[in-house]
Each structure stands twice: as structure tokens, then as C-alpha cells.
Amino acid sequence: MNIRNIAIIAHVDHGKTTLVDKILHATKVFRENQETGELIMDSNDLERERGITIFSKNAAVTYNDIKINVIDTPGHADFGGEVERVLKMADGVILLVDAFEGPMPQTRFVLQKALQLNLKPIVVINKVDKPNCRPDEVHDAVFELFFNLDATEEQLDFPTYYGSGKNGWFNDSLTEIDNINPLLDGIIKYVPAPKVAEGPLQMQITSLDYSSFLGRIAVGKVSRGSIKENQQVALMQADGTVRKLKVKELYVFEGMGKKKVAEVVAGDLCAVVGVDDFNIGDTIADADNPEALPVISVDEPTMNMLFSVNNSPFFGKDGKFVTSRHLRDRLMKETEKNLALRVTDSEDGDSLVVYGRGILHLGILIETMRREGYELTVGQPQVIVKEIGGKKHEPYETLVVDVPQEFASKVIDLVTRRKGEMLVMETKGEMQHLEFDIPSRGLIGLRTQMLTATTGEAVMAHRFSEYKPWKGAIPGRNNGVLLSKFQDKTTGYSIDKLQDRGTFFVDPGEDVYAGQIIAEHIKPGDLVVNATEGKKLTNHRASGSDDATRIAPKTLLTLEECMEYIQFDECIEVTPNFIRMRKVILDEEERKKVAKQMNAQMA
């Protein structure tokens, strides 16, 4: 068969999307003079802003009369659910590894999934033009990783290519050339053509696309038989129901887009129009003798957050969708395509508990919703605790930190205070490579502290490992917060007088309300302050007293930083234009009452 299906997997920032760019250019998908920019596959606004891939995507190129379906996957651990399902469409994987950093936690995770599916690996050691790179050592480390993951003899005999995606060359040796043809030849040589079983139609839906004209489109790989336009098929769902449907239109991937066809044979990837109300993991089968494929299993979520309607005094001023029904419908729609996400009802009717893979996973969902015009309130992220053998267990993660040697002791101190245990400490060039086993709770808020302690030099990555017994209390935020006393606009006069009390999150002239967090206190404990008082103007002016107030600019926190910053009695108000932190109970007297009751219960 003249088809090769290959997924590109790697740790974040090792150069997957750049490699896809080079493959698209090398196979002449674009005209000679066409302006394409960089990171062509990262088409979503959030992906472009953050420089990360969030959704896996397909492209198809033709090289030496052979069609290569390329699947670009995310590198962040929080989007592991995307990678797990799309690997089902591939017959081989390109494992991309940075020539300096070597295998990282996410490399291990995605490689393990690929080896379990028995996919043929090709190792590409990228960025060999970087200073301090160590391609030979990295190659040995990759081999060791394969061995530790119980790879078969055949998988251990993997071909290796070296090169630089940025400079546009890949070769089977360290000799620099001016193209990536050796790698494309390697894909055709080493990746097997799709294995096609005899029998009637079977196709598993592994991802979905959406078009405002055609509605929901099912995407997957035809694993046996063939699928034709206007054919009657059976949709077999995870709960055992079988529905008869008709295929309206069929598309295969071509370049960056799709091409309409009348029939797709086994082994190729295709998009099917006309199959509504499907879920990822369902099977499209022959109408007369339907057989289902095994349902895709995705790792469980490790974190949850409470999503509820915005109940602040500024409710409804900013967003289009503000009711609990809007919120529920949007979250349920998200679970259809976001496999690692779960949504359940909370005890009170207005809130929903959303389970995800980590802070970034949930943060991207909230950011997407606010851009669509939703207003909501989200609580502090909590880890999911399980009872195993009558004992309380919590999720643990493997944390890897690469940091200049002079900061290593600070990093070790920060992590051990959060109940982390050091497993590995080794020197890589001028950097110290540290590996820890740490409870997932300990990671919340760690990144900000780590970057402050290392002047932004630390490179941090983590990956869920397993559930282990509960480790006890982990210290949270050290400092309290300053809360607004009144609802009004802040004034420069008040903020100037309060600057020695804390670091402000608001500028003069911003609307605030009672109970909103406006600054971080310099001491533990919260303080209610009046930041809305204006200067009393009199007829007498003393010389020098009207000098311009010198106010430090406000500290800007991103959504993820706010999620890591808040404590259990605080929440975040998210609207299309504002992100405000606040107390769950806005009234000061009410908060004191609740605090008294809690203290009495604990005593």
C-alpha cells in the first residue's frame, strides 16, 4: 500500500511543530512564493500566543508517490489525553528528542503508549546546532529508556536521525546537508504500510472536526474493509447501543486541508460527514454484520475545580453567557472532544465539578470559555484523593528541573518543603539535572516560587506517576491578602498610602468591590483596606504636598498564576475582559462568623 501513517511525539518545546513545517515545505505543499509563516499547524489563537500545541492535527503529504499522513501531537503532560487517542491512527512514530535535554518525563510517557500499541519508532535527535549539545550521550539515554520500557528486540533496533529542524536538515549521521530527504526516505523505509485485516468495514473515531456548514465530522483510520459515500453503516457506541446511519460525504487529508472522495479503503485516515451524536472511541461498522473495536482508554484525571456562575456585584456587565444552563451546556460540549475531562454535578445545583489533567489543562479550558463570552467563577484546584486498602492515597508526579548549578540548593529546598523527595542529581554541561517524586498538591504554586528563586533560569517539567499514601499537610501561601472595603473606583491617593502594606494587583481608576483581593499583604493574615478614598481638597496648599504620587505598577497575574495563588476560601471571577481574585464570602462580618464556627469545630 502506498500509505504511511506517522505520529510525531516529543516533550514540550523539542520541535515537533517545526519539523511538520519542514515536511510540508519539503514536499511542496505550498507554492514557491507563498507566505506561510512558522508553526503552520498551530492554527488556534491560544496555541500561537503561548507557543504550544494544544490539539493534535493531521496533514498529508506526498513523497515519491507515497502518501504520508502526519499527525502533530501536543507535548505538554496536561494534554496527554490528546496523544493517547491519536496514536491509534498511526503505524509508526517519530520520537523527537532535544540534543541537549535528552529524554524528559513526557518523552517517557508518550513513548510507553506508542510501544504498548506496537508502533515502529524512528528516533530523531533535534537541535544538534545548539551549544553544549551531546547527541551521542542522548542517543544512549534514549536506548536506555527503550530498554527500561520493555521494548521488543525489533523496537530496540530503531533507526536514528540527527539534525536541526530550525535550519531545515536531517541526516542519518551528524554530517550537515541542506534538506530533510533522508528522514522522509527513512519514514517510507522503516514505517510499515498499514496492516489491513480481511472482513467488513471497521473504523474507530479517534478525533473530531467541526464545520459550521457540515456540523460534527468524525475522523479516524479505516482499519478494515472500505467506506463509501451514501453507504448505510452502523454506529456502535461505548454503552452497547447500535444505530443505523448513512454516510453523506467522505474526505481524505491532503496537504493542510481535505479532499472529497467517493471511497476510502482500509489503512487510510478519513473524515466522515453525516454521523451525528457520536463520541470519540465509537466504531463505524458494516450495517449488516457490525463488530465494535475496543474502546479507547485514557488515563484518569488527577485534579478538579468547582465551576459556578459569577455571583459578584459585577455579574453580567461583561459576558454574553452568564447562567448556569449556559455553563453546563458548554462544559458538556467540551467533554465530547476533550477525552481527559470529566464533569459532574456538585451538591448545590448552580455549580459543576470539572476534573482535568492539571492546571494548564483546566486553565486552557477556562481561557477558551472567556474568549467565547462566558462569565464564571472558579474555585481553588484540588487533587483527587482515593481510598486504597482503607488508606487515603493521593496522586504523585515525577518532577524534573534543569537549573544552573548555583541555584540547585534553592530548588532542592523549595521542593523538599513541599514533601518532594530527590531521586536523581546529575550534571549536564553547565546545568544541574534534578529529578524528584512529589505529591501533585506540592506542584500547585511551585512554578512561580521556583522562577523567582532561580531568577527565571529553571526549566521545569512534570508527569503523573502513580497514587501513593497521603503525605500530610503541605504549607500553602505564606502571606495574607489585602481586601477592598467598598465598591468604587480605586484612587492613586489611597494606593500610594497603602503601598507599604503590600504589592497591588490593581491600578488607580479600576472598579473594585467589597471582598475583592486587591493586593498581597506583606505579613500573614488578611487585611481589609479602603483603596477608594480620594484626597480631600482644601483652599490651603502646602508646598511639596502635591508632588505626584509614585505608585509601583500593578503585578499582572495570568489565569494559571491566579489558580495557583488562591487558597481554599478564595475564588477567581473570570469574564471576557477581566480576571479578578476574590473571597468566596464577600461580606466581612459573614467571613468572621464562618471562621469562628470553623475554629470552634476544630477545637
Average pLDDT over residues 484-495: 91
Average pLDDT over residues 293-321: 87
Classify burial at 194, counting beta carbons within 10 Å of its beta carbon; exposed 0-12, middle 13-18, buried 19 or more. Answer: buried
3-state secondary structure of 439: strand
Q: What is the rounded average pLDDT for all residues in the chain?
A: 85
pLDDT at residue 36 is higher than 60: no
- Distance (Å, rounded) from C-alpha 412 to C-alpha 434? 8
pLDDT at residue 277 is higher than 70: yes
pLDDT at residue 176 is higher than 60: yes
CB-based contact 377:318 (threshold 8 Å): no
Q: Please give the residue that has the higher pLDDT: either 583 or 212.
A: 583
Fold of 202-286: Elongation Factor Tu (Ef-tu); domain 3 (2.40.30)
Which residues make up each annotated binding site? 13-18, 126-129
Average pLDDT over residues 475-501: 89
Kindly list the distances between the CA atom of residue 487 and the CA atoms of 315, 484, 519, 533, in Å, as whole numbers in the listed order.
13, 8, 15, 11
Q: What is the pLDDT of residue 469?
A: 92
R_g of the chain, CA atoms, integer Å = 27
Helix (H) or strand (E) holding 382: strand 382-383
- Distance (Å, rounded) from C-alpha 563 to C-alpha 362? 10
Fold of 3-190: Rossmann fold (3.40.50)
- Distance (Å, rounded) from C-alpha 102 to C-alpha 125? 9
Percentage of the residues of the chain whose pLDDT score is greater than 90: 28
Q: What is the pLDDT of residue 43?
A: 57
Which grid cell is 38?
Answer: 512558522
CB-based contact 68:269 (threshold 8 Å): no
Provide the pLDDT confidence category of residue 438 given band limits of 50, 70 and 90: very high
Closest CA to 482 of 497, 471, 467, 469: 497
CB-based contact 42:48 (threshold 8 Å): yes
Average pLDDT over residues 134-138: 89
- Distance (Å, rounded) from C-alpha 450 to C-alpha 436? 14
With b for 16 or more beta-carbon neighbours within 10 A and e for fewer, the 390-420 pattern comes to: eeebbbbbbbbbbbeeebbebbbebbeebbb
- Distance (Å, rounded) from C-alpha 553 to C-alpha 504? 8
Q: Please give the residue that has the higher pLDDT: either 37 or 296.
A: 296
Q: Please give the residue that has the higher pLDDT: either 327 or 477.
A: 327
pLDDT at residue 33 is higher than 60: no
Average pLDDT over residues 90-118: 86
As a three-state string, the secondary structure of 487-546 is CEECCHHHHHHHHHHEEECCCCCCEECCCEEEEEECCCCCEEECCCCCCCCCCCCCCCCC
The ranges assigned to domains in the chain are: 3-190, 202-286, 386-469, 481-557+582-602
Q: What is the pLDDT of residue 134?
A: 87
- Distance (Å, rounded) from C-alpha 560 to C-alpha 76? 15
pLDDT at residue 327 is higher than 70: yes
pLDDT at residue 546 is higher than 50: no
Q: What is the pLDDT of residue 582?
A: 95
pLDDT at residue 584 is higher than 80: yes
CATH superfamily of domain region 481-557+582-602: bipa protein (2.40.50.250)
Question: Checking phi first, is residue 294 left (phi over 0); if not, alpha (psi -120 to 50) or beta?
Answer: beta
| CATH class of the domain whose range is 386-469 | alpha beta
Kindly list the distances between the CA atom of residue 473 and the CA atoms of 357, 439, 444, 476, in Å, as whole numbers in the listed order.
22, 11, 13, 9
Q: What is the pLDDT of residue 542?
A: 53
Q: What is the pLDDT of residue 547?
A: 46
CB-based contact 448:564 (threshold 8 Å): yes
pLDDT tens string 390-405: 899 999 988 888 899 9
pLDDT at residue 483 is higher than 50: yes
Which residues make up each annotated binding site for GTP? 13-18, 126-129
pLDDT tens string 402-434: 899 999 999 999 999 999 999 989 887 778 889
pLDDT at residue 35 is higher than 60: no
- Helix 135-148 vs helix 105-116: crossing angle, to nearest 10: 50
Pairing, β 242-246 against β 511-512: unpaired
DSSP class per residue in 324-375: HHHHHHHHHHHHHH-TT-EEEE-SSTTEEEEEESSHHHHHHHHHHHHHTTB-
